[in-house]
Amino acid sequence: MPLLNIEPKRPGNPGGTPRSLIRDPKLRKEIRILKQTKVLQWLKTEIYSSPEILALVLGFTNRQSVHKTLAAMEEYGLIRQGRVAIVGGHQTLWGITEHGQAMAFDEGKDEEPSGKTFEPGRISALRLRHILELQKLKWQAMQAGWTGWKNCDRGVKPQKRKDFKHRPDVRVIDPAGKVVAVELELTFKAIKRYAEEVIPAHARQIYVEENYQHVLWVCPTAADVKRMRNLISQAQEQIKRGSSKALEQLAAYREETGVKRVFRFGSLDDWTQQWEGRPEDRTKNVRAYLWNRFYQASRANKSFESQSYEEQEWMAATDHELIQQTRTDYICAVKERQQEEEAKQARQQQEQRRQQEEANRRYAEEQEAQRRANTLMGKVSKLFGQ
């Protein structure tokens, strides 16, 4: 009988699972902690998220791997799962617990655990899609070199329409160091609302309050971006026919800064590319923004420490040293300015005293001259009188 051709057995599974399996318990623990840290750092501020977004955060493509990681964290009491009813079904969410917040804060930075936790019953189904899309934008921004992320509506109580002041969805810093207000437009507003509320609010926050330097509208598709441009253009035409100062403020801002495109537009696919400038200028531009923020704080009689904390809350940890350095430099500049003003006032007071002394001296000399003249006239009068 012919011999059977038997191939030698390959070590491990042909798919490579045993080779990729990490057998070192210490290394497995480190990887598990790293995964948990990524999730906790994300949920520390976002509070809850979808499995799809957490897969992006973890860098996983396999749904089972994501679920396994999240389920293990749930067993440790770090996060909990919940379902929110939406149109056409339910949305599964994972959110942070009190224990998770306690494990997420950094003891070395003198932080305190946040009291915000995941409460499925308090989530608005109407805003859920918008919130999750903003989270996707945040992840895209982090991958593209954008830094900082401030959800401007978070923690703000709802306002009545007559007292309503429009706020952007997010403030973020682009790779060139410019602070950008992001508006995620999943649904369009009426032209009247853009003209009467949105654009005037942006003009005020850009030119007067100096909260940011550009506005970037992000729409789902390229076709939506084209429509968005048209809506903003029509709204600006409507403003021209009214009495709003918004366009004057924007024109003044362009003239002072040299910025041409204050309003920018992008789709979900390309919005992170909608920036101008050089990454090498990032530090200079962020410092200029912070300098203006401290100037605004001084005008409002707000403490510099409070302003520093406010900026640290949303800016990247890598910028915290720059915040403190800019604060120190601004305080030094203010003191130097005060010293210069005091020295100037002292010189002015000294000059005023000198002028007063000179005036007194001249007056005294005039009085003495007048007295001598009177004495001489008296003697002359007596002489001729005799």
pLDDT tens for residues 357-367? Answer: 999 999 998 88
> Strand, helix or coil at 86?
strand
CB 58 within 8 A of CB 66: yes
262 with 185, same domain: the answer is yes
- Predicted confidence at residue 20, as pLDDT, reads 54
Q: Going by C-beta distance under 8 Å and a sequence separation of 6 or more, which residues neighbour residue 273?
A: 144, 266
The answer to whether 267 and 221 have CB atoms below 8 angstroms apart is: yes
Residues 273 and 302 in one domain: no
> Are 325 and 187 in a shared domain?
no
pLDDT tens, residue by residue, 242-269: 888 999 999 999 999 999 899 999 999 9
Sheet with 79-86, strands from edge to edge, namely 48-49, 89-96, 79-86
Q: In this predicted structure, what is the pLDDT of residue 245?
A: 92
Please list, in sequence order, all residues whose beta carbon lies within 8 angstroms of the beta carbon of residue 46, skipping any fewer than 6 positions away.
Answer: 135, 138
160 with 265, same domain: the answer is yes
Q: In 10 A of CB 313, how many CB atoms?
A: 10
Same domain, 83 and 207: no
* Residue 266 contacts residue 218 (beta carbons within 8 Å): yes
| Residue 271: partners with Cβ closer than 8 Å, 6 or more residues away | 137, 140, 182, 216, 218
Q: 72 with 33: CB under 8 angstroms?
A: no
For 321, the domain range is 284-386
Same domain, 160 and 227: yes
245 and 132 in one domain? Answer: yes
133 and 259, same domain (yes or no): yes
The CATH number assigned to the domain holding 98 equals 1.10.10.10
Q: State whether 137 and 260 are in the same domain.
A: yes
149: left (phi over 0), alpha (psi -120 to 50) or beta: beta
pTM here is 0.82
Q: Are residues 265 and 130 in the same domain?
A: yes
Q: Which of 182, 151, 205, 170 is nearest to 275 (CA)?
A: 182
| 45 and 159 co-located in one domain | no
pLDDT score, position 208: 93
**Residue entry with tokens 């203010």:** 334
What whole-number distance in Å separates Cα of residue 166 and Cα of residue 205?
10
Total domains present in the chain: 3
Per-residue pLDDT at 213: 96
pLDDT, mean of each 10-residue run, the chain (386 residues)? 41 48 78 94 96 96 95 97 92 97 82 90 92 97 97 63 74 98 97 96 95 97 98 96 92 93 97 96 97 94 95 94 97 92 89 91 89 83 71
Beta bridge partners of 88: none
**Is 370 inside any structural domain?**
yes
Contact 193, 300 (CB under 8 A): no
Residue 19, domain member (yes or no): no
**Confidence at residue 107, expressed as pLDDT on a 0 to 100 scale:** 76
pLDDT of residue 386: 55
Pairing of strands 263-267, 179-184: unpaired
Residue 100 shares a structural domain with residue 245: no
